[in-house]
Amino acid sequence: MERELIPARAVKPGDILREEMEAREWSQADLAHILGRPIQVVNEILQGRKAITPETALGLATAFGTSPEFWLNLENAYRLHLARASQQGEDVQRKAELYGLAPIKEMIKRRWIRETSNPDELQAELLGFFRVSDLASISAPAVRFRFSPRHTPDTPSLWAWVTRARNLAEEQKVAPFSQEVFANQVPDLAHLSASPEEMLNLPDRLADMGVRLVIVPHLTRTYTDGAAFWLKDKHPAVALSLRYDRLDNFWFTLMHELAHLSGDPKNRKDYLDNELDQSATAGEEGRANRLASEWLLPKKAFDEFVRITKPHFSLKAIRAFARTQGVHPALVVGRLHHEGHLHYSQHRGTLGKVRHLFLNRS
C-alpha cells in the first residue's frame, strides 16, 4: 500500500500568482483588467482570503499560459492543508481539556485506560473509567476530604484515585454487612499483624464482615493515605494507598478508615484522608484516631507498659509486650515514636514492609 505524500508546507496560490505577475511587471489592476474581474477579487486571491474557482482558473490559465488544473490543484492542496491544520489544532485543544480532567499519563501507565492519540477514543476511555455519560459529570467524588497544610493535592488525581478504588470495590463479592458484627470483630483484626501469613487473610476476614478492601497505590500529588466510603449496595469499603511502606502506618491507616465506618448508620459519610494526623483531638478525625489507637493497642495496657519500661525501651521489652497483645512489634514501636517515648531513628528495623503482600491484588 502506497503512503500518501503530504507536503511539509503548502504553497499559497496567491504567492505563485504574485510571482507570475512580478515576472510580467503586472499590477493588480492590470490582472483585474485582463481577467475582467474586480480588482478586489485579485487582491483577495493574492491574500489567500478567496479561493480560486474553476472560472478564475480558466482565466489565469489563459493569461499565464498554464493549464486550469495547475491553479485548481494549487488551491485544493492549500485548502486541504488549512483544513488539516485546523483539525490538528482542535485535536490538541480537546486533548488538553481531557488531560486537565484526569492524570491520563499515569492512568495509561497503570492500564486503567487504553492509550490512544485519538481525542474521541480518549474521551470514551475517560467516560468509561468514571462511568458517566458526559464530561461535565466527571466531578469530585462524594467523599469528605481532609488536607494537610504541608501539601496541596491535585484534585483530578484524587478523583481518579477514589474512582479506581470504587470501581475495584464494586467488583468484589462480600457477605452482608452488619454493624453489630462489624463492631464485635474489628478489634480482633490487629492480631493479624503478628505475621505476614496472617496478614494475607485480612481481605477475606473483612469480606466475611461485609467490608470491601482495595489497595490502590497513590497517584502523584495526591498525598493520599486512605479512604472509607459506602457503595450503592449499602456495603462499606476501605481503600489504602500504601504511600508509606511500613507496617505501623498500614495498620493505623486501616483501623482509622474502619473507625470511620463505625457508629450510627444514619450518620454514614464518606471520608478520604489526605494526611493522617494522629494528633487530631476534635471532631470525626479525632474520634477515628482514638478508636484506631485503642483497637491496635488498648490505651490502658500501653500506658502501663510505658510506665514500667521507660526511659529505656529495649527491643526485647517491646517484643515481649507485643506478644502479650498479640500484635507485631512494629505497632508498639510506631506508637512509641508517635507519642515521643522513642526517637524516630530508634528500632526502625522492626517497622517492616507491607507493599509486597498486597500490591498484586490492586
pLDDT per residue as tens digits for the range 135-160: 888 866 666 555 555 777 888 998 99
Question: Which 8-state DSSP code applies to residue 212?
Answer: E
pLDDT at residue 190 in the model: 96
4: nearest Cα among 66, 84, 75 = 84
* 198-212 pLDDT tens trace: 999 999 999 999 999
21-48 CB burial, b ≥16 within 10 A, e <16: beeeebebeebbeebeeeeebbbebbee
Q: How confident is the model at residue 2 (pLDDT cuts 50, 70, 90)?
A: very low
* 51-93 pLDDT tens trace: 999 999 999 999 999 999 999 999 888 888 888 877 787 888 8
Q: How confident is the model at residue 300 (pLDDT cuts 50, 70, 90)?
A: very high
Are 44 and 50 in contact by the 8 Å Cβ rule? The answer is: yes
Return d(Cα 222, Cα 161) in angstroms, integer: 8
- Average of per-residue pLDDT across 326-333: 97
Return d(Cα 98, Cα 94) in angstroms, integer: 6
CATH architecture of the domain covering 13-99: Orthogonal Bundle (1.10)
Q: pTM value? A: 0.75
Percent of the chain with pLDDT over 90: 65
The bridge status of strand 212-215 relative to strand 271-273 is: unpaired
The domain locations on the chain are 13-99, 104-137, 144-361
pLDDT at residue 145 in the model: 52
Question: What is the SS3 assignment for 169?
Answer: helix
Any idea which of 88-102, 151-165, 265-279 has the lowest mean pLDDT? 265-279
Q: DSSP letter string over 241-310?
A: ---S--HHHHHHHHHHHHHHH-S-GGG---EEESS--TT--SHHHHHHHHHHHHHHS-HHHHHHHHHHHT
pLDDT at residue 78 in the model: 85
How many Å is the Cα radius of gyration of the chain? 34
Question: What's the mean pLDDT when you consider all of the chain?
Answer: 88
Looking up cell 493520599 gives: 224
- Average of per-residue pLDDT across 93-108: 93
Give me the residues paired with residue 358 across strands: none
